[in-house]
């Protein structure tokens, strides 16, 4: 009993920055008035892409830009944290909390998905406009069902990209690893497309994102079916998860499709080009507000479970060493 109390005490102190940042995300989401480093990431990517993505050797240029930005973010964050530790433990703690807070993106997406369902229930045009805020595809011709589907697909993907994966890399590489992962994810979202402009320049960024999300995506799907109490869905996830064009996104989508007994996928428009995504699931039924509420419930419970796992394993690693 005494050892358990000591273990819990160490866990609380060790994970205080993460706990505080996570509670901040649950309460605040991403406040619009607060400058966000992802905006700076995006500007850096855009600046280098416009200057490097032309001429010959585009694959090599894209690889060098990607490595420069990812390694640069990791080293800069590491330096910033060590520099702040020299001056004040309070400054270090505050900086850790702020950076972790920036890396977690669970609450904002949940709010956006709720707004999509409310908007599409009001009018189809409002739903299309609202869902365009959270997806990269052309939404101008989506049906009401496709608007709701797009929102829930994005919710499932974001649970991996915006919550589980950052926490996974935090557990492995600390706050610098968390920020480096967010740079990888931002690079993929900006230049990781298979169109004429980015096919060669962004291919390394896309592959790096695939590697960075390989374990987190599958872990997300497992945790989703676990919190749903539906471990029997693991075979469903294994079958449909690998059918997605992405080697990773299909797994959390398949988990949610299985939990909701619905179907995701189908044709999408990206930059004027139709991209056909294989269907995930077998029941092409209409999605409802109740489905959205259940999806958010699963999302939240998965997030809590992942936080608890990070607490446990980070404390266990500390205890062992």
DSSP 195-262: STTTTTTTHHHHHHHHHHHHHHHHHHHHHHHHHTT-GGGHHHHHHHHTTSSSTTTHHHHHHHHHHHT-
**Predicted confidence band at 6 (pLDDT cuts at 50, 70, 90)?**
low
| DSSP bridge partners of 275 | 268
Locus of tokens 């009001």? 122
Domain ranges of the chain: 1-320
**Predicted confidence band at 163 (pLDDT cuts at 50, 70, 90)?**
very high
Locus of tokens 């209409």? 286
Res. 267: pLDDT tops 70? no
Res. 187: pLDDT tops 90? yes
pLDDT in tens, 205-234: 999 999 999 999 999 999 999 999 999 999
Q: How far apart are CA 8 and CA 290, in angstroms?
A: 37
Rounded to an integer, the average pLDDT of 103-117 is 93
pTM value > 0.85: yes
Q: Give the pLDDT of residue 271.
A: 53
Q: Which residues contact 85 (CB under 8 A, 6 or more apart)?
A: 91, 92
When the pLDDT of each residue in the chain is averaged and rounded to a whole number, the result is: 90
Q: Give the pLDDT of residue 52.
A: 93
Q: How far apart are CA 110 and CA 301, in angstroms?
A: 13
Q: Give the pLDDT of residue 5.
A: 63
In this structure, of 6-10, 57-61, 128-132, 236-240, the range with the lowest mean pLDDT score is: 6-10
Alpha helices for the chain (secondary structure H):
2-14, 16-28, 37-52, 58-87, 89-103, 107-122, 124-131, 144-158, 165-191, 203-227, 234-241, 250-260, 289-320
Q: How far apart are CA 36 and CA 179, in angstroms?
A: 12
């Amino acid at each position: 009993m005494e050892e358990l109390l000591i273990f819990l005490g160490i866990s609380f102190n060790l994970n205080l920055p993460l706990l505080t940042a996570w509670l901040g995300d649950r309460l605040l989401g991403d406040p619009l008035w607060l400058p966000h480093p992802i905006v700076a990431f995006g500007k850096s990517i855009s600046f280098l892409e416009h200057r490097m993505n032309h001429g010959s050797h585009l694959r090599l240029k894209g690889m060098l830009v990607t490595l420069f930005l990812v390694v640069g973010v990791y080293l800069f964050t590491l330096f910033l944290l060590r520099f702040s530790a020299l001056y004040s433990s309070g400054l270090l703690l505050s900086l850790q909390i702020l950076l972790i807070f920036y890396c977690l993106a669970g609450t904002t997406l949940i709010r956006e998905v709720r707004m999509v369902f409310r908007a599409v229930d009001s009018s189809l045009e409002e739903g299309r406009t609202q869902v365009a805020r959270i997806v990269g595809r052309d939404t101008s011709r989506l049906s009401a069902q496709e608007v709701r589907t797009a929102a829930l697909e994005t919710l499932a993907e974001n649970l991996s990209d915006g919550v589980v994966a950052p926490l996974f890399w935090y557990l492995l590489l600390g706050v610098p690893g968390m920020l480096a992962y967010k740079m990888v994810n931002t690079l993929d979202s900006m230049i990781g497309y298979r169109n004429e402009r980015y096919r060669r320049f962004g291919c390394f960024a896309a592959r790096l994102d695939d590697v960075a999300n390989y374990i987190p995506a599958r872990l997300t799907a497992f945790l989703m079916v676990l919190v749903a109490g539906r471990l029997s869905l693991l075979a469903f996830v294994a079958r449909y998860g690998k059918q997605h064009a992405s080697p990773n996104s299909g797994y959390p989508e398949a988990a949610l499709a299985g939990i909701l007994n619905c179907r995701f996928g189908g044709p999408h428009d990206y930059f004027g080009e139709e991209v056909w995504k294989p269907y995930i699931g077998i029941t092409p039924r209409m999605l409802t507000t109740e489905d959205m509420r259940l999806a958010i419930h699963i999302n939240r419970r998965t997030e809590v479970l992942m936080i608890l796992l990070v607490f446990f394993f980070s404390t266990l690693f500390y205890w062992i060493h």
